[in-house]
Amino acid sequence: MTEQTVAIVGFGTAGVNAAIALRGAGYEGRIVAITRGPAVPYSPILTSYYAGGQKSFEECFPWTAEEIDCLNVDIIEHCEVDSIDVNARCLRTSRGDFAYDKCLIATGSDPVTRGFPQVEGFEPLTLRSMEDAERLKRVAEDPACKRVLVSGASMVALKTLEACVLRGLEVTLVGMMPHVLDMNALPVAAERFERGLSNMGVALKLGTTIASVEVISDAEGFEGRRLEVTFANGDVERFDHISVAHGMRSNLGFIPQGALEIDRALLVDPYMRTSDPHVYAAGDVAQALELISGERSIVGIWKNAAVQGACAGRAIVYELASREIPESFAYVGSISTNTIVVGDLLFISAGTIKLTDARRVEVREDDDMLVAHIYEGSRLVGFNLVCDNTSARGVAYDTGGMLTIRIIGGLAGARP
Ligand SMILES: Cc1cc2nc3c(=O)[nH]c(=O)nc-3n(C[C@H](O)[C@H](O)[C@H](O)COP(=O)(O)OP(=O)(O)OC[C@H]3O[C@@H](n4cnc5c(N)ncnc54)[C@H](O)[C@@H]3O)c2cc1C
């Protein structure tokens, strides 16, 4: 009998956790991982901390080379999968084709710069890879760089902003929406967070966008030039650099149209199986059960990617052995959670901020903290917490933890 092959496309947290689960469940066949990234993956979560000087380069790698070696995976690093042929069960790359019996797609997502105008001779900063973090770090450390514009107002943009603030740069944030964190924060919480940013010296330009950027030669400026930005509201200002984070997009470009069922990402069942019986998906590319809506959606956080990768790995072992996958292996589902820190400011959220006729908001606010609760009947379905007092941090984290547990606890009673 020929040896079976499991192929993993993308070796980030979902991919690595799948390999750990495959070996943990006794799979002894070949695992090949083809990844655009390095063989020993870094954590995207930590890239901004590296750029901001809070973490060393080495600390950005959750696994050691020895730990990855133990998994006995053939890793084809710095190699992009160009296409998947689900009928031939084959992955096409510039380094050749890779046949598989089962394939896990775990290619994550990249921040997008959509909407940023093309600028001749200038490439904005983005934040995803260690190379991006290295570039941001170099810019932020250079004494000639004084003013940075951050375009975008969600997690990656705020993490970039934090790195720049920590490096002592003068930062302006421009966001299309009237408030920061529009995907995760109610206006009342966003406003308190924005006040905190302003108190920190961050200039906010909300409800507008970058209309155009002109590169102006200036021997005194960073790298011999300044960037003249015209905003959609007519303001004109000069900056030394610009960082762009206009949302995230799942990396699915290598999947031919119609080959797999895709909504916003790959639709998966409770065992992370896609519409093709031999292809699984996990992490930022998977649209799996979200517990509050009861629908399948992308909840792009590290922990979900890890749990989903492990879930896929275990299911693959059973399917390769033609055994029924135990129900207990099913993905339990997730809720959205976020924690963002900028200097003294802390934002924590979990659950949903989507308001319906059946939902109401209760806000409790004092000098240290604002907590907005979102209730459906008596059930807590979401919360926002903003703390702008460093000494109350411990209480804020505990409160956030307890409220998250309350949301999860409430779900048990809410679903049949
Ligand atoms: C700057 C930043 C900060 C973040 N902060 C947080 C946070 O604080 N908390 C949190 O929970 N989450 C955070 N996230 C999200 C979290 O990092 C992701 O949810 C998680 O890394 C997803 O894991 P993954 O395995 O699905 O994808 P990834 O970790 O992105 O790994 C995917 C891998 O696939 C590779 N790849 C892509 N396309 C191809 C291809 N065609 N062929 C081969 N390989 C390919 C990629 O290069 C990458 O190596 C952050 C993300 C970013 C970018």
Q: Which of 214-218, 219-223, 266-270, 285-289 has the lowest mean pLDDT?
A: 219-223
Q: How many CB atoms lie within 10 A of CB 188?
A: 15
Identify the pLDDT of residue 174: 98
- Predicted pLDDT of residue 416: 44
Shortest-distance atom of ligand 1 to CA 160:
1
Q: Where does residue 31 rank: exposed (0-12), middle (13-18), buried (19+ CB within 10 A)? A: buried
Q: Note the pLDDT tens digit of each residue in 136-145.
A: 999 999 999 9
Kindly tell me if the per-residue pLDDT of 413 is higher than 80. Answer: no
Quote the CA–CA distance of 43 and 32 in Å, as a whole number: 21
Classify domain 130-244 at the CATH class level.
alpha beta
Binding-site residues, ligand 1, Cβ < 6 A = 9-15, 34-37, 41, 44-45, 47-48, 80-81, 106-108, 111, 127-128, 155-156, 159, 251, 254, 283-284, 300-303, 305
Catalogue the E-assigned strands of 189-318: 203-206, 210-217, 225-231, 236-239, 241-244, 248-250, 266-267, 279-281, 286-289, 296-297
Angle CA 261–266–269, to nearest 5: 85
- 78-91 pLDDT, tens digit per residue, is 999 999 999 999 99
152 near 180, Cβ under 8 Å? no
Number of Cβ within 10 Å of residue 220's Cβ equals: 8
Contact 374, 364 (CB under 8 A): no
pTM for this model (two decimals): 0.95
- In the chain, CATH 3.50.50.60 covers 5-108+251-329, 130-244
- In the chain, % of residues over pLDDT 90: 94
Q: How far is the CA of 129 from the centre of ligand 1 (A)?
A: 9
Q: Which residue has the tokens 């975008």?
A: 152
Beta carbons of 407 and 380 less than 8 angstroms apart? yes
CATH number, span 344-408: 3.30.390.30
Q: Whose CA is nearest to atom 52 of ligand 1?
A: 44
Residues of the chain with CATH 3.30.390.30: 344-408
Q: Which residues contact 46 (CB under 8 A, 6 or more apart)?
A: 55, 59, 60
Q: Using an 8 Å Cβ cutoff, are 25 and 51 in contact?
A: no
Tokens of 241: 């650099």
Domain boundaries 5-108+251-329, corresponding CATH code: 3.50.50.60
| Residue 358 one-letter amino acid | A
For ligand 1, the distance from its centroid to the CA atom of residue 323, given in whole angstroms, is 32
Residue found under tokens 């903003």: 386
Mutation pick for ligand 1 pocket among 93, 302, 303, 307 (CB with most ligand atoms within 8 Å): 302
- Token readout for 312 is 């896929």
